[in-house]
Amino acid sequence: MIYLDSAATTLQKPASVATASAWAINHLASPGRGGHRPAMAAAAKAFACREAAARLFHVETPEQVVFTSNATHGLNIAIKTLARPGSRVVISGYEHNAVTRPLNALDVSLRVARGPLFQWEAVLESFRRELDRGADLAVCTHVSNVFGFILPIEEIARLCREREVPLIVDASQSAGVLPLDFTALGAAFAAMPGHKGLYGPQGTGLLLCGVDPAPLLEGGTGSESKRQSMPEFLPDRLEAGTHNIAGIAGLLEGLRFLERRGVEEIAAHEARLIRRMGAGLGEIPGAERFLSPDPAVQAGVLSFRLVGRDCEEVGELLGSRGMALRAGLHCAPLAHETAGTLETGTLRASVSAFNTGREIDRFLQAVQELASR
- What total of structural domains would you count in the chain? 2
185 and 304 fall within a common domain? no
Cβ 221 vs Cβ 235: under 8 Å: no
d(CA 156, CA 355): 32
How much is the pLDDT for 158? Answer: 98
We report the CATH number of the domain holding residue 289 as: 3.90.1150.10
28 and 138 fall within a common domain? yes
Using the 3D structure, point to which of 261, 288, 319 is the last residue of a domain. 261
- State pTM to two decimals: 0.97
Confidence of residue 222 (pLDDT cuts 50, 70, 90): confident
269 and 257 fall within a common domain? no
Using the 3D structure, point to which of 246, 261, 276 is the last residue of a domain. 261
Residue 101 CB contacts under 8 Å (≥ 6 apart), including other chains: none
- pLDDT tens-digit profile of 122-170? 999 999 999 999 999 999 999 999 999 999 999 999 999 999 999 999 9
**Which residue type does 8 have?**
A
d(CA 148, CA 274): 10
We report the CATH number of the domain holding residue 188 as: 3.40.640.10
108 and 198 fall within a common domain? yes
**DSSP per-residue codes, 35-68:** SSHHHHHHHHHHHHHHHHHHHHHT-S-GGGEEEE
116 and 226 fall within a common domain? yes
pLDDT above 90 for 224? no
286 and 356 fall within a common domain? yes
pLDDT above 90 for 33? no
132 and 78 fall within a common domain? yes
Using the 3D structure, point to which of 202, 228, 261 is the last residue of a domain. 261
7 and 43 fall within a common domain? no
**Which residue type does 19 have?**
T
Confidence of residue 63 (pLDDT cuts 50, 70, 90): very high
240 and 277 fall within a common domain? no
257 and 342 fall within a common domain? no
Domain span at residue 297 reads 2-11+262-371
How much is the pLDDT for 34? Answer: 85
How much is the pLDDT for 281? Answer: 98
How much is the pLDDT for 343? Answer: 97
247 and 268 fall within a common domain? no
Neighbours of 226 (CB within 10 A): 4
How much is the pLDDT for 173? Answer: 98
83 and 188 fall within a common domain? yes
